[in-house]
């Protein structure tokens, strides 16, 4: 009698082999500029992307998403904290030591024009990672290029073209083909569709979803498009001013957002059902995102939170687990059993039709 996991044959495994996540960030911090007056772009970000899992990283512009993504693929050096790829700590590896590990991860940028070498042919661009990692025989280069292009929906003749001869959507297909050519375990996709025409965004997103399903790579999918994240991601991490404020599986987060910031973000996203769109209460956040040069004390969201209390203004809320698999929140107002207040109905203003009540809470 054993509780050990069984293999496909029903035979208990001798020793369960724990598979490390493809990406693990531990307390990742990235400050820009001199200590004391640094831009605190990322401040203690801890997250994992499991094998074959898509983690959506959302939050408004300036919240630190790209900084996290760049540190995750070692395009940037964290100020402190660590980055593990497939269980290996790559935070302090030299470029040389990192080189053989590079094939395990890659990045797709927001703007494909800026990330593709204009002098190279498309065929050369998509096979470059294979060349870099000694995975290509020169006689097979053309064949591989054509194959890679067909996987992203581009005909063979595109192999001989240059990036400037392509449309934005085609260029992004090329950067996706390049990023996936060495079959990485992890893809970081930073707003991969937001620089594209609205008319082609969906097709590039569909392509990414199809490739992810077929190949099963893990993905850190950075976006401010909640519909895209709902479609593509398994889990979501919500960032505010350099920190993660909530994490949850996609369905749970959309069904019952706990953090007032998450509630506000979701309330601002368009709903597919027009009648639901008309009746739902929108939470309008007042004020701008505060400067990451001087984040507010206590909860960083307190300056814009309709529910903030004195405790929120002084005490930093830690990201803590809630009941339910993979649910975490950093908010003093969420109870340990997961009960969360509704930011659309601040205390004392439960019903919009009761002016006396509302006046009672003013100021």
Ligand X SMILES: Nc1ncnc2c1ncn2[C@@H]1O[C@H](COP(=O)(O)OP(=O)(O)O)[C@@H](O)[C@H]1O
DSSP 8-state class, residue 104: G
Q: How far apart are CA 223 and CA 66, in angstroms?
A: 9
Would you say 127 or 303 has its CB closer to ligand X?
303
In contact, 148 and 177? CB cutoff 8 Å: yes
Q: How far is the CB of 123 from ligand X (least distance, A)?
A: 32
Instruction: Write the DSSP string, 141-201.
Output: HHHHHHHHHHHTT--GGGGGS-GGGS-HHHHHHHHHHHHHTT--SEEEEESTTTTS-HHHH
Using CB under 6 A as the binding rule, whether residue 61 contacts ligand X is answered as yes
Kind and range of the H or E run holding 329: strand 328-329
The torsion angle over the Cα atoms of residues 108, 114, 119 and 123, rounded to 10 degrees, is: 20
Residue 63 binds: one of ligand X, Mg ion, none (C-beta under 5 to 8 A by kind) = ligand X
Using CB under 6 A as the binding rule, whether residue 65 contacts ligand X is answered as yes
> Which ranges constitute the DSSP H helices of 183-304?
198-215, 226-232, 250-255, 260-268, 274-279
Mark the segment that binds ligand X (CB under 6 A) among 18-26, 55-63, 127-135, 209-217.
Answer: 55-63
Residue 181 binds: one of Mg ion, ligand X, none (C-beta under 5 to 8 A by kind) = none
Contact code string over 290-319 relative to ligand X, x by CB under 6 A: --x---------------------------
Residue 295 binds: one of Mg ion, ligand X, none (C-beta under 5 to 8 A by kind) = none
DSSP 8-state class, residue 207: H
Choosing from 28, 48, 56, 67, the residue that interacts with ligand X (CB under 6 A) is 67
Q: Which of residues 41-80 bind Mg ion (CB under 5 A)?
A: 66
Would you say 63 or 86 has its CB closer to Mg ion?
63
Would you say 33 or 360 has its CB closer to ligand X?
33
Chain-centroid distance, C-alpha 306: 26
Q: How far is the CB of 45 from Mg ion (least distance, A)?
A: 14
Contact residues toward ligand X (CB under 6 A) are 32, 39, 41, 59, 61-67, 292
């Amino acid at each position: 009698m054993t509780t050990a996991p069984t293999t496909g044959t029903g035979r208990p495994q001798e020793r369960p082999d724990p598979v490390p996540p493809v990406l693990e960030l531990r307390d990742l911090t990235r400050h820009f500029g001199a200590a004391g007056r640094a831009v605190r772009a990322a401040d203690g970000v801890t997250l994992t992307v499991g094998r074959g899992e898509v983690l959506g990283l959302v939050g408004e512009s300036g919240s630190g998403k790209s900084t996290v993504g760049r540190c995750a693929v070692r395009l940037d050096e964290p100020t402190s904290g660590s980055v593990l790829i497939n269980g290996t700590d790559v935070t302090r590896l030299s470029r040389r030591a990192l080189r053989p590990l590079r094939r395990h991860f890659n990045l797709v940028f927001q703007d494909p024009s800026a990330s593709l070498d204009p002098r190279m042919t498309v065929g050369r661009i998509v096979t470059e990672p294979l060349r870099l990692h000694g995975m290509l025989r020169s006689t097979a280069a053309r064949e591989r290029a054509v194959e890679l292009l067909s996987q992203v929906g581009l005909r063979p003749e595109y192999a001989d073209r240059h990036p400037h001869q392509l449309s934005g959507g085609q260029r992004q297909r090329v950067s996706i083909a390049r990023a996936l050519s060495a079959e990485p375990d992890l893809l970081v996709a930073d707003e991969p569709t937001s620089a594209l025409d609205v008319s082609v965004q969906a097709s590039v997103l569909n392509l990414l979803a199809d490739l992810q399903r077929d190949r099963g790579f893990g993905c850190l999918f950075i976006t401010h498009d909640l519909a895209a994240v709902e479609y593509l991601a398994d889990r979501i991490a919500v960032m505010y001013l350099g920190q993660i404020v909530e994490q949850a599986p996609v369905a749970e987060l959309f069904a019952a957002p706990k953090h007032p910031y998450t509630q506000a973000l979701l309330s601002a996203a368009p709903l597919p059902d027009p009648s639901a769109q008309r009746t739902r209460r929108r939470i309008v956040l007042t004020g701008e995102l505060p400067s990451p040069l001087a984040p507010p004390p206590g909860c960083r969201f307190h300056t814009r939170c309709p529910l903030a209390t004195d405790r929120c203004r002084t005490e930093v809320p830690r990201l803590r687990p809630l009941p339910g698999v993979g649910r975490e929140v950093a908010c003093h107002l969420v109870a340990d059993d997961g009960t969360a207040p509704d930011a659309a109905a601040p205390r004392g203003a439960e019903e919009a039709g009761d002016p006396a009540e509302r006046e009672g809470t003013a100021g």
